[in-house]
Amino acid sequence: MRDLYLSAKFADYLREIGLLEPLVNALKIYREKQNFPFELKDKRIMKMAIFKGLTDYYGQAKKKPSVEKILKRTEEITERLYGKEKPKSVGEEVVEKSEKTKEEIPIIEE
């Protein structure tokens, strides 16, 4: 395992035999699973901050919307900031870019 940290030659060898990209993808998926609880916590904190800001804002306004409307608006803002779909992982982007850059070698007939 230490070779992965120290040897660029080993990483290049893994790339040549096609194992580097799956290894990067697996590591990225592992990291996402480990960080998921922290992302949920951050999203909850963001929702609370947005809700507090909206209630303060609408508390000073003449028209006071219902709590359900404020919650709905809070969800919209949070989803816009965090996105419903997770961004692509680095490994998926690498694979996608490498597939796009592959060129077909024309067959030359003599």
Supply the angle between the helices 20-60 and 67-82 in degrees, to the nearest 10. 150
Structure tokens given for 61: 């306004």
Domain extents in the chain: 2-81
Q: What pLDDT is attached to residue 49?
A: 92
> What digits encode the pLDDT tens for the residues 77-105?
888 887 765 555 555 655 565 555 554 44
Among 57, 82, 86, smallest CA distance to 69 is for 57
Q: What is the pLDDT of residues 15-45, one digit of tens each?
A: 888 888 888 888 888 888 888 888 888 889 9
The confidence score (pLDDT) of residue 81 equals 80
Q: Check residue 98 and give its pLDDT.
A: 56
